[in-house]
A = this chain, B = another copy of it.
Amino acid sequence: MTTARPVLRTDYQRSVANYWNHEKDPVNIKLGEVDNLFHHHYGIGDYDPAVLEAPAETRDEAIINELHRLETAQADVLLDHLGDIRPEHRIMDSGCGRGGTSIMANARFGCFVDGISISETQVEFANNEARRRGVDGKVRYHFKNMLDTGFETGSMQAIWNNESTMYVDLQNLFAEYARLIPTGGRYVTITGCYNDVTGGRSRAVSQIDQHYICNIHARSAYFKALADNGFVPINVVDLTAATIPYWELREKSSVATGIEGPFLTAYRENSFHYLLIAADRI
């Protein structure tokens, strides 16, 4: 008989939260430890093939450093598309994981950043890290549902999802963002999406869904949901070719999780794209 709305509302959300509360994948932890920027996304750009030829005792570390460099490069490209962010602005890192991109955004723009996640473990980890770096006055992480953040209407100059839209319904997601972002604000996502042109969800795409308990959307679903909710693209970049080297290197690394094969298959067979979309709120 209460109307209080819990952060986790469905069995599905509870299972995703549970997954991330317990996840301790070396590919996220070890790479993060390179410079204490913890990411939960993939990388872009060519890797230095020399790392594969490094002496046995340093080879593993060299590869991990290189993977981390590519991840950070990806986050930089995402931040390049946030538009003109000023120190007094507030921006939101939606599905922030352990918080790495928020730290980078604050360092670049000097602005306020609110990261949100449905994993309480991640939120706690990220807030500790912000305190340790002394940026907790401007960078804060919250245990919140991205479909219903409770933040004030019009409060966010920009919002991004770095590989976290596959856990939610896009229409509901962008409806919430349309509420949070004022006219002229910006939305950016980097995401994997399956290719409407080659047809339905391929086996490789379903393997990724199963691995992460996620629900990869069709490319068309992004453009439909953005248009329906008052967002207009200004830049769209097909990053598929740029992300393949990351996966090839990771497949050969000690932190491979087994999902590398399906990603490489999906990208190469053209059933899956790695896409950046930047859109303006109108």
- Tell me the A residues contacting B by CB distance below 8 Å: 1, 3, 5, 9-13, 15-16, 88-90, 112, 152-155, 167-169, 182-184, 196-203, 206-207, 209-210, 213-215, 219-220, 223-224, 226-227, 232-238, 269-271, 273, 275, 280-282
**When chains A and B are docked, how far (Å) is the Cα of A223 from the Cα of B155?**
26
Given contacts A112-B1, A206-B206, contact A200 B215 (CB under 8 A): yes
Label chain A's interface by main secondary structure. Answer: mixed
**When chains A and B are docked, how far (Å) is the Cα of A15 from the Cα of B182?**
19
Given A196-B280, A197-B282, A200-B214: 4 more A-B contacts, CB < 8 Å:
A9-B184, A10-B198, A197-B232, A200-B215
> CB-nearest residue of chain B relative to A262?
B210
| Neighbour of A220 across the interface among B88, B227, B237, CB < 8 A | B227
Is there an interface contact between B213 and A223, defined as CB atoms closer than 8 Å? Answer: no
Given contacts A184-B10, A196-B282, A206-B213, contact A155 B269 (CB under 8 A): no
Query: In the complex, how many angstroms separate the beta carbon of A276 from the nearest chain B beta carbon?
Result: 10
Q: Could you list some 9 contacts between A and B, CB below 8 A?
A: A3-B154, A3-B155, A11-B198, A169-B200, A201-B215, A203-B210, A223-B226, A227-B227, A234-B273
In the assembled complex, which residues on chain B have CB atoms less than 8 Å from the CB atom of A206?
Answer: 206-207, 209-210, 213, 215
